[in-house]
Amino acid sequence: MFNEIFKTELKLIDLHLRSLFNTPPDSGTDLPVELHRLYESMAYSVFSEGKRFRPLLSVLTAKALNKEPEQVLPLAAAVELIHTYSLIHDDLPCMDDDDFRRGQPTNHRVFGEAGALLAGDALLTMSFGILAQSPSPRAAQAVALLSEAAGPRGMVGGQVMDVDAQNPGKLLLEDIHKRKTGRLIQVSVEAAGVLCDAPKTQVQALRAYGEQLGLAFQLADDIQDFDPAKPEKVSFASLLGNDETLRLLNETSQKALDALADFSSTADGLREMVRLNRDRV
């Protein structure tokens, strides 16, 4: 769905990501074979046919604000690299111990556990350097927002809460997923508004939109992944059932759309993202 509707935007994102890997930063010297292997491991996961949901949100936010998409490409790339690193680490034996991701062997099954761990570390570190080089005078603010979203109060904190959760109730479950999944989606929109120098009221509206869409994304995932025979402990569908989770998905999706009430038709791409996510189920 996303690939067909946003073909132009996704091509722009892909070209930018590939430009970051075509020439490694220290290619002016003879790279040791180990570093070539590291870049190969990083690229293996970055270009593994992901939806590019988060970077697409950044580009669509620029369009909503009548700005050129190129203005937010450093953010789009940074968010995607962080998302990719989190998946590599999630798949490790010490976490979910998965053998496949997006239809192909997980990174550690191809490059080894140490190689996968270090590829994730490299992607995370690389992401902040990319965003810091944004020409926007508000790049430092965007870096701070991304750090907050990805760190202990955001995605990583949510992952810790997920690992430690024992039969979580609805409020705790919502808090976990707002951090683990939602914060990176939220910052993809909010930080794009900052880089585009949007007024404070618009940035606040984009933040609200991103927060609601982040939760809606997880709700849709939980419905898609629900297996009554093997219910996950940290899942809305497992806790509430499919019908109630679907009701929450509809409610949260509407809140995301409501947050864009003061935006013109230039924000229709962001509105479409809500509908496409909802229609996954």
**Domains of the chain by residue range:** 2-278
Phi, psi of 171 (to 5 degrees): -65, -45
In the block, tokens 């870049």 appear at: 39
pTM value is 0.94
- Structure confidence at residue 23 (pLDDT): 59
> Given this structure, which CATH class describes domain 2-278?
mainly alpha
- Structure confidence at residue 102 (pLDDT): 84
Could you tell me which of 219, 156, 220 has the C-alpha nearest to residue 183? Answer: 156
CA separation for the pair 274, 251 (Å, rounded): 12
One-character DSSP codes across 35-52: HHHHHHHHHHHHTS----
Please count the other Cβ atoms lying within 10 Å of the Cβ belonging to residue 243.
Answer: 10
- Structure confidence at residue 103 (pLDDT): 87
Question: Which parts of the chain sit beneath pLDDT 50?
Answer: none
Could you tell me which of 173, 258, 153, 280 has the C-alpha nearest to residue 212? Answer: 258
Could you tell me which of 162, 158, 137, 279 has the C-alpha nearest to residue 232? Answer: 162
Rounded to a whole number of angstroms, the distance between the first and last alpha carbons of the chain is: 13
- Structure confidence at residue 227 (pLDDT): 84
Q: Look up residue 81 and give its two tokens.
A: 């690299």
- Structure confidence at residue 3 (pLDDT): 77
CA separation for the pair 174, 177 (Å, rounded): 5
- Measured at the CA of 223, the angle between CA 218 and CA 226, to 5 degrees, comes to 115
- Structure confidence at residue 94 (pLDDT): 93
Distances 115 to 21, 60, 120, 142 between C-alpha atoms, Å: 17, 34, 9, 30
Percent of all residues in the chain with a pLDDT value above 90, rounded to a whole number: 85
